[in-house]
Every structure is written in structure tokens, then in C-alpha cells.
Amino acid sequence: MSEKLEGIVSPAIDNLMKTVNSKYELVIFASKRARQINEYYSALHEGSLFNNVGPLVDATVDEKPLTIAMHEIDQHKLAKHAAE
């Protein structure tokens, strides 16, 4: 049981807030990316993944798409467009 559990504390909200103006904007930004990751995994399962971009960070099988999206935002792998 030496497994390190990070949960919701990683990445820290303070680091994530450097990319956006509000917590609500962060939720929308991360949820849109999580949907894209989910669509990628669905297409991968179906054998067609040409229209989708997979995780941009190292991700394990048990990580949820929203967690992966938060890590991508924390590591500055995503750019937020002004129109969003």
C-alpha cells in the first residue's frame, strides 16, 4: 500500500488558475478537452483515430479524461483561444 494517491490536489488549483481568469472558465476549458480525450479513446476502441488528438501528457489507463486535461493545462500543453 505504498501507492501515492494524488486525487484532486494534483495539479494545484493555483497553478491551473494562471491559465484562465476564473474557476468557471477553467471548468469549461478542461471539460471541453476532456470530451476530446474521451472521443479519442472511443475512436481508438473502434479502430479509427484520425480525427482526434490523444493525451498530450503521459497518462495511465486508470486516469480519467478530466484528470488528463487538468495535467495538460498545468503543463501548458494547451493554449486557450480568445474566442472561447
Q: List the domain boundaries for the chain.
A: 26-79
Contacts within 8 Å (CB) and 24+ apart, 20-23:
20/80
* Mean pLDDT (whole number) for 5-18: 75
The mean predicted confidence, pLDDT, of the chain is 83
* 41 exposure class (CB count in 10 Å sphere: 0-12, 13-18, 19+): middle
- The mean pLDDT of 37-50, rounded to a whole number, is 82
User: What pLDDT score does 49 carry?
Assistant: 63
5-9, 15-19, 46-50, 72-76: segment of lowest average pLDDT: 5-9
- pLDDT for the residue 60: 85
Q: Which residues contact 33 (CB under 8 A, 6 or more apart)?
A: 65, 69, 72, 73, 78
Please report the beta strands in the chain, taking only residues with DSSP state E, as ranges in sequence order.
none
